[in-house]
Structure 1
């Protein structure tokens, strides 16, 4: 019979540490890292993900803001030149310019700010990620129909996939909700021009989310095209694949000149 023991209290820093080694091993294996790859473990805590990352031969940045964890990390990896411990907040730490991956169990409270830093910018060094995030967030991000501009912008430029559900018992102490192993990969056929077209379409359509999207796109795309692909639906009821199809068609037409991407999107500032 399962005992009804009291759930342990959260750590003093409010962190629920991923403690299931099968989940951790799955994250690291899925990242497919090799020698000289650069990978970031955001919210590294005591290093439960950092350690197996170091064994891949990759260069590891362990980013942690809690001074006690930072001290422990520096002691633990003092003889590992491939591991650099960074005492910073993941929301503000400077991101590398060179290509980097992310493998991390992100604190639920700061998942969205970090995802904005990784997924919003056009360009930059971010290449791929294997993340543990809150289950509800993962389901929202992987939905075929995006409820807001931010989600549509991310999922039209990245493939977001739930690899597995991560039960709350895989953390110490256990949170109140389950998590998910979320994989993030860029779409190889969305170049900067296509991204500029996508932004123009999505920002116009989601600016009037209750209206028919094709009405909101008057002047941005041919009516026959919008009628064929979008019908009478508002933006939140249009499949991400339809937005991608439209953007690719328009991007291939060299007579189409998309407006430049806003500076805050290029830099990755928070979307409205």
Structure 2
């Protein structure tokens, strides 16, 4: 047997150093023992305003890693997040409303978004919001088995964000399309990120098929729960138009909107 692999196995079993210290092929050799099956994120809704449950088939897997789809469920707290695959003309309006209500949000951006909208990204950062990583090219991260290619997906976003803002990007990662595997969660963790899924989302991402204001308000408000990580898409005209009313309603119902940094 390869002596290096024997030594590596021994050190791991003794927990003498963390897997985050692995680089290159050694990390890939270690992680190759992990499950590469691709899963789609979903949540199991419950009645009476109770927080939803995580997927039963991966509950044991996600418990091993810093994976969040809920925050503090003991308090009336909401964590508001937006996915930014491209700009559809509504983000500045969203930022105006967040500023009016003095609430934080997290924006998960891809590399082309930062390059195409540097002034909006700088505004997000300047107004106290988290700008977070959504990958460079929006692939299924479960399909990216090679560690170096996986790192590039995150590091290209980090690089461009720092060039635009002079700051380091917040270390929260939302897997594109909610696709993940045990291996992808391991890689994400070892690159210093927390994985952020969601406990509420709805069909809001198709510009040509926007829900009505009443439908969207009822859907979101009725599914709001303690510790909710809310996923909204910023390309949605409806979301931009109801956000002021929605935040007002949340506050009237006793909810506080907090930063992902408080998870």
TM range (shorter): 0.3 to 0.5
> Taking CA–CA contacts closer than 8 Å with sequence separation of 6 or more, which of the two structures ends up with the larger relative contact order?
2
Instruction: Name the structure where helix makes up a greater proportion of residues.
Output: 2
Instruction: Name the structure where strand makes up a greater proportion of residues.
Output: 1
Question: TM (normalized to structure 1)?
Answer: 0.31
